[in-house]
A and B are shown apart, each in its own frame.
Chain A
């Protein structure tokens, strides 16, 4: 049980401030994902929560109690490291039971808890092995087992799946989702992979350059991104961003096409228009907003990605559901789903429609 609050948290190395104004509340039992590009500060934030990195300024509270100076061992949090950080000289069972060993719990209780965790994770046959005799996926499971055995008030995950191959990553992602359902514990999960973020999170925090860009449910971020950074970071393939300007007729693209949009903002600050590839359609020429040539067509089976070059506008990516019979070099006519476009001002902030 843990409600974690970050109030005005800052982090500086010497005189270099790397994070500022971090305000965040993580509700008890919530699955929160911190996501952002490399170097955005997400791992540093997690390490500050774990107590491995000193907090420069602000208040860090667990269940309303200030914990800034409390050492990691007294924060009652378990952490799964990207490198797994298994103790190489201890076998699987001792690795998993080490926290109980340190806390001097009885060996009977320890064996029982380790046994239970090993069973849920399918590690029962491996408990006597050393980490070096395990595969990557098994090591990952042991690292998770080590966290589960402790029954902590919160779980911290630092890019736990990034060293696994694609198939195993999907499997372990499901395992973590199940673990959250079963334990209903507070979990904070760091990743740079937006698919992991979207599939696992109750709420996502998007970070960039040490600042929170937006906090919201996966759907919030997808449907109403706060700014261009979030819009482009969430969603795959990436959102198309087209330069536009506003005039008396409406929103005008660089090739002169005017889009008639309902409820366009009356300010003339509109600078760019964002539209996701899945909100573009290939249509007959008379219904089209944009006309160009298909440069590259990717057939993914479930979808077809069409990279089109539109004169005067630039590159546009269109995603059609299913197999779309189109070859590179053929002309394409594209219509925008005007209800699902986003307008951004010069600073990249989204303008509410």
Chain B
């Protein structure tokens, strides 16, 4: 018994060691980001690779917030990311429900087409997208980014939503319809509340994807007014120098909405709402 206990302590310690190592590995770049952000400019190079800076400052944050266009970039990014996440999730939820519940002509074809769109590297279609967006006069507008991001993310989001709908037994909405609901009422009153974790996951995923997108934002946006945050970060790189401290401070600030968003939705992500619906 004691032997077993000892063994399991070793096993537990090993497990935590492995987890700790993994977390350190994954979070180290973030730590470095934060470290540079609070290091005074003149110490960045003299401190070198020391793990802890020899003095701290919040000057970089102050400069970024008060003396750069960072807040405008931030607002633009927020508009684009929230817009993309909301529109994509609505469309993906509707499409996912249809794929999960209905059989219709061309269903397999549409699914195949959506899969194919996921096979191309985005680089291939930058030029055509640019020409289309220019032709409709949407260059330098946040709308163009929302449309492009939405189009890219719909296939994946649809498959994600479909798998969530597939996880909800058909019996539930049939019971609802027998109880007097129309199909739409059954969807709204029974299926939707059970799909909240799925909606939250999809929202979170798309939000993060749009928040960190650089390639298309760089191509389609030139004016300072409509730059999103990843493009704006590049303005810290000037012809003769890179303002590392301010860039890192901006980066730290950019993490804030993603973190808040996930803290907000994580309770939906972990909820096992469908348990108890059917047997078992």
Q: Is A270 an interface residue (CB 8 A)?
A: no
Chain B residue at minimal CB-CB distance from A149:
B179
Check A88/B177 contact, CB under 8 A, given A83-B169, A83-B171, A83-B279.
Answer: no
| Cα-based distance from A296 to B181 in the complex (angstroms) | 56
Q: Which of B144-184 contact A (CB under 8 A)?
A: 169, 171-172, 174-182
| Count of chain B residues near A, Cβ 8 A | 24
Q: Is A81 an interface residue (CB 8 A)?
A: yes
Choose one: B182, B185, B276, B279; the contact of A88 (CB below 8 Å).
B276
- Residue among B172, B176, B178 with the highest chain A CB neighbour number at 10 A: B178
| Cα-based distance from A52 to B190 in the complex (angstroms) | 17
Check A88/B178 contact, CB under 8 A, given A81-B171, A83-B169.
Answer: no
Quick one: CB contact mask for B244-280 with A, threshold 8 Å, 1 for yes? 0000000000000000000000000000011111110
Q: Is A133 an interface residue (CB 8 A)?
A: yes
| Cα-based distance from A102 to B182 in the complex (angstroms) | 10
A85 with B275: CB separation less than 8 A: no
| Cα-based distance from A102 to B171 in the complex (angstroms) | 18
B residues within 8 A CB of A88? 172, 194, 273-277
B181 with A102: CB separation less than 8 A: yes
Of A71-79, A185-193, A297-305, A307-315, the one touching chain B: A71-79
A residues within 8 A CB of B275? 88, 132
Check A87/B178 contact, CB under 8 A, given A132-B276, A134-B276.
Answer: no
Check A85/B174 contact, CB under 8 A, given A131-B276, A136-B279, A163-B279.
Answer: yes
| Cα-based distance from A84 to B175 in the complex (angstroms) | 9
Q: Is B193 an interface residue (CB 8 A)?
A: yes
A78 with B171: CB separation less than 8 A: no
Choose one: A73, A139, A163; the contact of B178 (CB below 8 Å).
A73
- Residue among A51, A79, A133, A136 with the highest chain B CB neighbour number at 10 A: A79
| Cα-based distance from A146 to B185 in the complex (angstroms) | 18
| Cα-based distance from A136 to B278 in the complex (angstroms) | 9
B residues within 8 A CB of A267? none
B171 with A85: CB separation less than 8 A: yes
B180 with A103: CB separation less than 8 A: yes
Check A87/B190 contact, CB under 8 A, given A102-B185, A131-B276.
Answer: yes
Q: Is A141 an interface residue (CB 8 A)?
A: no
Q: Which of A70-126 contact B (CB under 8 A)?
A: 71-73, 77-79, 81, 83-89, 98-99, 102-103
Q: Is A150 an interface residue (CB 8 A)?
A: yes
B172 with A87: CB separation less than 8 A: yes
A162 to chain B, nearest CB (A): 9
Q: Is A50 an interface residue (CB 8 A)?
A: yes
B276 with A73: CB separation less than 8 A: no
Q: Which of B84-137 contact A (CB under 8 A)?
A: none
Check A102/B169 contact, CB under 8 A, given A88-B274, A89-B273, A130-B276.
Answer: no
Check A72/B177 contact, CB under 8 A, given A81-B171, A85-B171.
Answer: yes
| Cα-based distance from A77 to B179 in the complex (angstroms) | 8
Check A73/B279 contact, CB under 8 A, given A87-B172, A89-B193, A89-B273.
Answer: no
| Cα-based distance from A133 to B279 in the complex (angstroms) | 12
Chain B residue at minimal CB-CB distance from A74:
B180
B193 with A79: CB separation less than 8 A: no
Quick one: CB contact mask for A287-298 with B, threshold 8 Å, 1 for yes? 000000000000
A79 with B194: CB separation less than 8 A: no
Choose one: B169, B179, B277, B279; the contact of A146 (CB below 8 Å).
B179
A73 with B172: CB separation less than 8 A: no
A73 to chain B, nearest CB (A): 5
Check A102/B276 contact, CB under 8 A, given A83-B169, A89-B194.
Answer: no
Interface residues of A (CB under 8 A from B): 50-52, 71-73, 77-79, 81, 83-89, 98-99, 102-103, 130-134, 136, 139, 146, 150, 163
Apart from the given pairs A77-B178, A88-B273, 7 other A-B contacts in the complex at a CB distance below 8 Å: A52-B177, A52-B178, A78-B178, A79-B174, A84-B278, A89-B273, A102-B181
Sort A-B residue pairs by CB-CB distance and give the 7 closest, nearest first. Answer: A132-B276, A83-B278, A85-B171, A85-B175, A99-B179, A88-B277, A102-B180
6 pairs from A and B in contact (CB 8 Å cutoff): A81-B171, A83-B171, A102-B179, A102-B180, A132-B275, A133-B276
